[in-house]
Amino acid sequence: ITASEISQYVYCPVSWRLNRSGARMESPRLVRGVAEHERAGGRLRLVARWEKASGIFRRIASLLAFASLILLGWILWMSP
């Protein structure tokens, strides 16, 4: 049982029981709600991908900055 199912049961136990038994209720508002949740889920997946990519880019930038500092230190150390 999910939190959504608990919420549905609290709101309307009959609707919850019908839904669990496989009965499907269709209404324009329900269809719009499902479509909006699917769009929101797609946006959340996109945000998760961007967050993962930004973490990778931050690590790469940190490594490049560290390598630049090491190179600068080596150049300064070796210069007369």
> 1-36 pLDDT, tens per residue?
788 888 888 888 887 888 888 877 778 888 888 888
Q: Is the pTM of this model over 0.75?
A: no
Give the pLDDT of residue 72: 96
Mean pLDDT across the stretch 50-72? 97
Core vs surface per residue 14-52: b (16+ CB within 10 A) or e? eebeeeeeeeeeeeeeeeeeeeeeeeeeeeeeeeeeeee
- Residue 43 — pLDDT band, cuts 50, 70, 90? very high
Sequence spans of domains, the chain: 3-78
Query: Which two tokens mark 62?
Result: 């940190």
- Residue 59 — pLDDT band, cuts 50, 70, 90? very high
